[in-house]
Structure formats: C-alpha cells, structure tokens
C-alpha cells in the first residue's frame, strides 16, 4: 500500500522539516523524540494513574501505572518505550499507553529504564528484568492479575521486552505473552527493508546505527557479534518463549527483522501472530493525531492483548 497521504504530507511539509537526526546533539535528539507527543490524538478518558518505582540492585526503576477499572484485577502489561535506548521516557509514552490501557482493558505499567550513553548496555535490560519481576510479585497492589502478565514495547522497548521474555523462561516470574511493536533486535542492519527504507521515512539506517552504537558503547567496529541479551536476533534458541505477537509497519527499516523474528518464534513452537500495518512508518504510535490510520497499529495491539488470555 502507498504511504499514508497524511503521514506523507506531514513529513514532507517544509514547515515541519528538521535537521537529520545524525546532525542533532544528544539533547536535541531527546527533545525531538519527546516532541512526538504533540502528534498524538488527545485522550480524555478517565483512568486511575499511579506513579511508583521498583527496586533493583542498581537503584529504583520508575514507572507510571494506568488502571481503567480500579477494583477489578486486570491483565498487567509491563511496557518499555522506544527511543533508540538513548531517548524517550514515561512522559513520552503517556498518550498512547493511556489509550492502550482503556481500549484493551488492561493495567499498563509505563517503565522509565536507564538510557545510554550515560547508562549503556546492560543497564536497560537489567532494569527491565528487575521491574518485570517486581511487577509480577506486586501485581495485586497495582490492581492487576499476575497470572496474566505481558511484556511489551516498541522499537528499542520491544528489544527489552523480548530479552526479558527469554531471560525469564523457566523462572518464578511467569510471562504469559510478549507484544513486540516494530522491534529493534538485529544490529547487522542488512535486510531488504533496511536497503529499501534507509532514508526518507522518518526512521533511517544512519539513525539506527547511531542508536545501536550508543547503546552498545561501540563507536567503531563490527556490530555482527553482539550478545543476544542486547540483540535477541542472536539468540540461538527461542523455544519456551511466551506466546508472541509481533506488529510491524510497512515503511520501516526494522520491518524485516521483526517479521523474521516472528518466523523464528513460530518455528520454535511458540504460538505466534504477525501483523504488518500497511502505509505506516516507524513512529506510527504517536501519529494518530495527524493521521487517523495510525490508530490501526494500536488497534492491532488492543486485539492482541484482549485475545492473549481468552
């Protein structure tokens, strides 16, 4: 399908033109990511919000939990934001995750893990594992049902969700489902979608290389030998992972690696659902205010969460 015309108009409009991400300082890059919230459709639906922090050996991991039906134990979605492991945060994901909680009928815990370059790998996955374990152990206090636990995320956050799901296999923390949206899981960046969409569709190959190198603290050298705990595409064995939903978008360098990961989980015997959203770009979760079709991505996530524990 052709690129959504409203998305295309917005990103090609000279008024909205901005310097390439590689030309931005770290502070400018982070500010540009945070500004994406202005493209979200406002959501005034009422739900209970709670700020907290999960303890870890490296210090507290902050979160904000959204509960659409206080008093009713609901599935718990531990959600890790995107932003290339070096930007984004709780406020960045506030609009789409509020909508996700209400529409899917779940408790969503919006996690603020540590970012690179101040805290490169393995800080983020350690935070992700610690907060997921704590959420499982304290689900009742959040008004959630720990027996219906989902790890989820988009882009870099989907990477963390996949790492957590694999790391916790066979542990006392039972993950019931993983929801991976546009997952960034393969630093080799040599897929057909990387070649087709390397430039011109918001997320670029050069941006992703910057993010990977910053996250891994590898300013130079090969990205073809990376621990699977940093890049799940390198995991040899995906068996025993929880049932999986992978959602990709058509115009994204990351499209193929997400779809290949879904094929591998299915081949490993993991119940897997793969959905590709036509006409959309990488940051679609934040674009429903300017392009109504962008809400289709969240709609697929909502249906996956509703179906996960039927």
Contact 214, 86 (CB under 8 A): yes
Is 201 catalytic? The answer is no
Contact 127, 58 (CB under 8 A): yes
- If 0-12 CB within 10 Å is exposed, 13-18 middle and 19+ buried, where does residue 54 land? buried
Strand partners, 79: 110, 152
Catalytic entry in 155, 186, 191, 288: 155
Q: Using alpha carbons, select from 37, 97, 40 the residue that is nearest to residue 64.
A: 97
| H-state helical runs in 62-155 | 90-104, 123-137
Q: In angstroms, rounded to a whole number, what is the distance separating the alpha carbons of residues 58 and 119?
A: 11
Geometric angle at alpha carbon 216, from 212 and 217, rounded to 5°: 110
Contact 154, 178 (CB under 8 A): no
Other CB atoms within 10 A of residue 15 CB: 5
Q: Using alpha carbons, select from 139, 128, 109 the residue that is nearest to residue 168.
A: 128
Is 155 catalytic? The answer is yes
Q: In angstroms, rounded to a whole number, what is the distance separating the alpha carbons of residues 294 and 286?
A: 8
Catalytic entry in 252, 256, 288, 296: 252
Catalytic entry in 282, 286, 288, 296: 282
Is 282 catalytic? The answer is yes
* Upstream peptide bond of 169 is cis (omega within 30 degrees of 0): no
Contact 73, 199 (CB under 8 A): no
What are residue 309's phi and psi, to 5 degrees?
Answer: -125, 25
- Which pair of structure tokens corresponds to residue 184? 């960034």
Residue 109 is inside which H or E element, if any?
Answer: strand 107-111
Contact 252, 285 (CB under 8 A): no
The residues assigned a catalytic role are: 155, 252, 282
């Amino acid at each position: 399908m052709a690129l959504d015309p409203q998305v295309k108009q917005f990103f090609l409009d000279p008024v909205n033109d901005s310097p390439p991400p590689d030309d931005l300082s770290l502070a400018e890059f982070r500010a540009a990511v945070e500004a994406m919230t202005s493209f979200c459709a406002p959501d005034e639906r009422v739900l209970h919000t709670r700020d907290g922090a999960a303890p870890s050996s490296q210090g507290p991991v902050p979160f904000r939990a959204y509960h659409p039906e206080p008093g009713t134990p609901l599935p718990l979605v531990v959600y890790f934001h995107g932003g290339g492991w070096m930007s984004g945060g709780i406020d960045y994901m506030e609009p789409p995750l509020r909508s996700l909680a209400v529409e899917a009928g779940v408790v969503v815990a919006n996690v603020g893990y540590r970012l690179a370059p101040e805290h490169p790998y393995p800080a983020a996955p350690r935070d992700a594992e610690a907060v997921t374990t704590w959420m499982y152990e304290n689900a009742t206090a959040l008004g959630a049902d720990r027996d219906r636990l989902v790890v989820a995320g988009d882009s870099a956050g989907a990477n963390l969700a996949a790492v957590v799901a694999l790391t916790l296999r066979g542990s006392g923390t039972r993950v019931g489902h993983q929801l991976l949206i546009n997952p960034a899981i393969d630093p080799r960046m040599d897929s057909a979608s990387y070649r087709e969409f390397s430039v011109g569709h918001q997320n670029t190959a050069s941006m992703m290389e910057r993010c990977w190198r910053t996250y891994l603290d590898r300013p130079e050298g090969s990205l073809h030998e990376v621990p699977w705990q940093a890049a799940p595409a390198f995991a040899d064995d995906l068996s025993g992972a929880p049932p999986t939903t992978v959602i990709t978008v058509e115009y994204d360098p990351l499209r193929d690696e997400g779809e290949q990961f879904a094929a591998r989980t299915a081949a490993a015997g993991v119940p897997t659902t793969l959905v590709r959203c036509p006409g959309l770009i990488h940051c679609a979760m934040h674009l429903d205010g300017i392009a109504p079709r962008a809400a289709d991505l969240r709609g697929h996530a909502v249906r996956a969460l509703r179906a996960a524990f039927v």
